[in-house]
């Protein structure tokens, strides 16, 4: 049986003397002490891998602290399995762990299992938090290259037919491929619907007109007024827009059609007041939008950077 010591210091902490002294005090000979200088976050541990290849059944590995040998919870769990499988004892001086004893083996396995449980709990909580945020229109990841105002301006330029995609991309300093991803609407003259993403926070109120925006929480007359005004829809696109889909907190809440007998109106910015109908029933949705493939109460995750988008029919 051979006793080996393993010590690790990060590249910022170049002095392994304290670990070396503790290992020699524990009876490890100098020639059997392996010192590794590498960040604890890196997966590659060449000196540790070489030590593991050298071990034989009945040998013992001694470290000063768990953090010196384990990269993370999963690595510790894997090491515990490896030591057990290869009949190698593991000793942690400062934490009093010795897998050469039944209590030590039980303690280390419980410790590794609890660490794994903790890791899984963190991952599960993170995923649930991301899902909840995504359902409410908030997602993580890289910041979008174009703001909603820029997207609206780009879409307006595209809809007029006076600018090429290359020209629009150059205007906003992005690649053509980026612009193509954001301008997928009615290709080849296809009809479309405008999908609007909202949440249930109280909508804004215009101080001049007292008109509400967003989800009002009021009656249908007030909500219809908030739903129909004002949208940056170019005149060239309006004949192709057949309806609005409202997604609230990640759920399709209502779908309104464009009233064919109604009139579009513009404000001084060129934004449109769309002639919308009352919310459609499921049967009306199926009749008027047979290719929509969206239904009331369906989940509709929000894409970061967009508060509205077109969907071709």
* Active site residues per annotation: 10
Report the C-alpha gap between 109 and 99 in whole angstroms.
9
Element at 82 (helix H, strand E):
helix 73-85
Alpha-carbon distances, residue 2 vs 20, 34, 56, 64 (angstroms): 17, 13, 8, 17
Single out the residue of 145, 139, 114, 142 nearest to residue 127, CA to CA. 139
Q: Where are the beta strands (DSSP E) in the chain?
A: 3-9, 33-37, 60-63, 89-92, 97-98, 192-198, 241-248, 251-257, 265-266, 272-273, 308-312
Q: In this structure, what token pair is assigned to residue 4?
A: 């080996």
Strand, helix or coil for residue 196: strand
- Are residues 251 and 297 in contact, defined by beta-carbon separation less than 8 angstroms? yes
Q: In this structure, what token pair is assigned to residue 146?
A: 């174009």
Q: Please give the order of strands across the beta sheet that includes 192-198.
A: 251-257, 241-248, 192-198, 308-312
Where are the alpha helices (H) located in 136-273, listed in sequence order?
Answer: 148-160, 165-172, 176-182, 220-228
- Are residues 259 and 277 in contact, defined by beta-carbon separation less than 8 angstroms? yes
For residue 256, report the phi and psi dihedrals to the nearest 5 degrees: -115, 145
């Amino acid at each position: 049986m051979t006793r080996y010591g393993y010590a690790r210091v990060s590249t910022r902490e170049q002095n392994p003397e304290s670990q070396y002294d503790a290992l020699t005090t524990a009876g490890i000979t100098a020639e059997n002490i392996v010192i590794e200088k590498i960040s604890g976050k890196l997966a590659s541990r060449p000196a540790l891998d070489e030590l593991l290849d050298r071990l034989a059944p009945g040998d013992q590995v001694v470290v000063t602290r768990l953090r010196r040998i384990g990269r993370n919870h999963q690595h510790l769990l894997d090491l515990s399995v490896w030591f057990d499988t290869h009949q190698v004892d593991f000793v942690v001086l400062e934490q009093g762990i010795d897998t050469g004893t039944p209590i030590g083996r039980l303690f280390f396995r419980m410790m590794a299992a609890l660490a794994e449980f903790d890791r899984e709990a963190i991952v599960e909580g993170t995923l649930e938090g991301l899902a909840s945020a995504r359902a409410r229109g908030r997602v993580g990841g890289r910041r979008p290259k174009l703001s909603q105002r820029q997207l609206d301006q780009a879409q307006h330029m595209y809809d007029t037919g006076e600018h090429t995609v290359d020209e629009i991309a150059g205007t906003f300093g992005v690649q053509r491929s980026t612009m193509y991803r954001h301008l997928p609407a009615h290709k080849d003259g296809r009809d479309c619907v405008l999908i609007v993403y909202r949440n249930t926070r109280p909508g804004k109120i215009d101080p001049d007109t007292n008109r509400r925006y967003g989800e009002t929480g009021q009656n249908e007359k007030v909500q219809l007024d908030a739903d129909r005004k004002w949208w940056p829809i170019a005149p060239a696109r309006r004949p192709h827009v057949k309806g609005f889909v409202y997604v609230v907190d990640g759920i399709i809440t209502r779908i309104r059609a464009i009233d064919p007998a109604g009139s579009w109106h513009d404000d001084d910015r060129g934004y449109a007041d769309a002639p919308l109908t009352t919310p459609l029933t499921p049967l009306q949705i199926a009749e008027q939008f047979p290719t929509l493939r969206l239904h009331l109460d369906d989940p509709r995750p929000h894409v970061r950077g967009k508060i509205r988008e077109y969907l071709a029919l």
